[in-house]
């Protein structure tokens, strides 16, 4: 269980996240949605223990987030972050060196599944290949929470399908996945709950099926409704 209690993050001249309170449960895939700059990434970085909240607390299974939480939370940033001297295999070794829950076998399987090769140099990868590699490295961990920041950004249709397939494959009742995107439609099918962030605040949390059952609309429709008028 992940609790975000009155979490606020202020930077020099702007409030990136303001008073976000919500509780997320394992066994779900959450979409965290909102336009660029709405505070999705900042909130996720706080959960990942990369940034400290200005005020408020974040707890994983009752324990406040700290450096040790990074053992249980796998965070993937939007931009490529690997060292440019690395090969795909080096990336696996790096994760293997630092994360006890990382499985080299699973990584090798995913790399193969995504039609990448271990000896490829990162400098030669296209943006789609890089996006797939980031997913492979992150999902080869056996973490409690996976947070993927814009995993579908700037990649082609085939790579997108492979990424989605990997996400679905490793989601189970013991895991929590939080996937951010500003491309709502693409994510809609694979999530069960959508968290809307608007102007640094939590706007609302919507169940995929309950929206369809109760209001007869999709998450994308709701998104248009919420963000269309600003």
Partner 1 sequence: MKFNPNAPIYLQVIDALKLDIINGRLSPGEKLPSGRDLAVRYTINPNTAARVYQELERQGICFTKRGMGTFVTNDADRISECRNQMAKEVLDTFLVSMKELNISKDKAIEMINESDDIWMI
Partner 2 sequence: MGKLLKYELRKSLGVKGVVLVISCIFELLFLIGLYSSKETLIPIGITLLYFDAFISVVVMGIASIRLLHNDLNTKQSYMLFMTPNSSYKILGAKVIESFMSILIAGVFFTSLGFLDFTLLIAQNGGFKEAFDFIYTAYQKIFEIEINPSDVISVIALLLISWFYFITVAYLAQVISATFLNGRKFNGIISFFIGLAIIILEEYAVNNFVSISATGSVINHNILQGVVYLTLAGITYAVTAWIMDNKLSV
Residue 225 Cβ, how far from partner 1 at the closest point, in Å?
A: 13
β strands within 45-186, DSSP E: 55-60, 63-64, 73-76, 145-149, 176-181
- Strands 2-11, 55-60: pairing is antiparallel
If the CB atoms of residues 126 and 169 are measured against partner 1, the closer one turns out to be: 169
Q: Which stretch binds partner 1 (CB under 8 A): 13-21, 122-130, 183-191, 197-205?
A: 183-191
User: Is residue 158 part of the contact set for partner 1 (CB under 8 A)?
Assistant: no
What's the CA gap between 90 and 92, in Å, rounded? Answer: 5
User: Is residue 217 part of the contact set for partner 1 (CB under 8 A)?
Assistant: yes
Residue 209: partners with Cβ closer than 8 Å, 6 or more residues away: 192
User: Is residue 27 part of the contact set for partner 1 (CB under 8 A)?
Assistant: yes
Q: Which stretch binds partner 1 (CB under 8 A): 59-67, 132-140, 165-173, 195-203?
A: 165-173
Partner from partner 2, partner 1, none binding residue 216, C-beta < 5-8 Å depending on class: partner 1
What's the CA gap between 118 and 111, in Å, rounded? Answer: 7
For every residue of 132-143, DSSP letters joined together read: HHHHHHHHTB--
What residue ranges bind partner 2 (CB under 8 A)? 11-13, 45, 48, 50-52, 67-71, 75, 77, 79-83, 85, 94, 97-99
């Amino acid at each position: 269980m992940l609790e975000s209690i009155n979490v606020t993050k202020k930077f020099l001249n702007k409030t990136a996240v303001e008073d976000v309170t919500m509780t997320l449960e394992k066994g779900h895939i959450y979409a965290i949605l909102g336009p660029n700059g709405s505070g999705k990434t900042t909130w996720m970085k706080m959960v990942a223990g990369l940034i400290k909240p200005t005020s408020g607390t974040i707890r994983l299974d009752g324990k406040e987030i700290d450096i040790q939480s990074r053992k249980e939370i796998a965070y993937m940033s939007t931009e490529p972050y690997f060292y440019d001297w690395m090969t795909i295999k080096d990336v696996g070794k790096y994760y293997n060196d630092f994360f006890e829950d990382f499985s080299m076998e699973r990584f090798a399987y995913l790399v193969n599944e995504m039609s990448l090769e271990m000896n490829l140099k990162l400098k030669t990868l296209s943006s789609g290949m890089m996006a797939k590699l980031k997913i492979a490295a992150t999902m080869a961990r056996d973490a409690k929470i996976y947070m993927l920041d814009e995993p579908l950004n700037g990649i082609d249709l085939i790579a997108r399908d492979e990424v989605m397939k990997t996400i679905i494959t490793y989601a189970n009742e013991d895991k929590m996945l939080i996937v951010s995107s500003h491309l709502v439609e693409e994510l809609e099918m694979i999530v069960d709950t959508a968290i809307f962030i608007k102007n640094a605040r939590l706007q609302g949390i919507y169940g995929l099926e309950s929206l369809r059952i109760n209001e007869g609309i999709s998450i994308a429709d709701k998104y248009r409704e919420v963000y269309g008028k600003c």
